[in-house]
Amino acid sequence: MNVWFNPLQPKQNVLNIKEINFSQLKRRGISALILDIDDTLVPRLVKDITPDIFEWVATRKEEGFKICLTSNSRHPLRVKYIGDTLGVPAMPLSFKPFPFAFWRALQILGVKPDQAVMIGDQLFMDILGANLVGIHTIFVKHLTPETNWARKLMRWLEVKFLRGL
């Protein structure tokens, strides 16, 4: 960790999960994916998983990646349903950005921080927490447009922090 380490700076920025170069991650020694659910993998208010998501997850498994889903969602049944449907472990009520959420995911995946990547759409939850634990971070653009003022404010702050205030 150098003096310029900024825990709010994602290591990579992409539009969506389909843009991620997984062979490049593999070459870096990454073998496990910690995936945020809402607005990263599936839109926040959608319950059903589309065939392209199934295919995306199946391809990652074929490539040899281990996957763990994490969510701060207050709907644990939804999180469990998505994990079960995709055949991967899922952690509801993760309390990101607290480090224990990420330590638990690493434990489930059986890897060290430098062997994992966190992929998420929230700078102050997914990226901040994973950076603090020393996990590689990929920031994706949120899938659902924000409508309420609190989430709009959060997105505005994210842009400010990404640009270095």
* Residues 105-134 close enough to bind Mg ion by CB under 5 A: 121
Per-residue tokens: 119: 């992929």
130 vs 108: CA distance, rounded Å: 15
Q: How far is the CB of 65 from Mg ion (least distance, A)?
A: 20
Closest separation between CB of residue 44 and Mg ion, Å? 7
Token pair in block for residue 112:
């060290």
Query: What does the DSSP 8-state code read for residue 62?
Result: H
- In the complex with Mg ion, the residue whose CB is nearer, 24 or 50, is 50
Q: How many residues bind Mg ion (CB under 5 A)?
A: 4
d(CA 133, CA 155): 23
Give least dist CB 88 to Mg ion, A: 16
Establish if 158 lies at the interface with Mg ion (CB under 5 A). Answer: no
Kindly tell me which of 23 and 147 has the beta carbon lying closer to Mg ion: 147
Q: Tokens at residue 31, please? A: 């073998």
For Mg ion, the closer CB: 62 or 133: 133
> Taking CB under 5 A as the criterion, which residues in 22-51 touch Mg ion?
36, 38-39
CA distances from 90 to 15, 27, 46, 80, 154 (A): 23, 26, 17, 6, 25
Positions in the binding site for Mg ion (CB under 5 A): 36, 38-39, 121
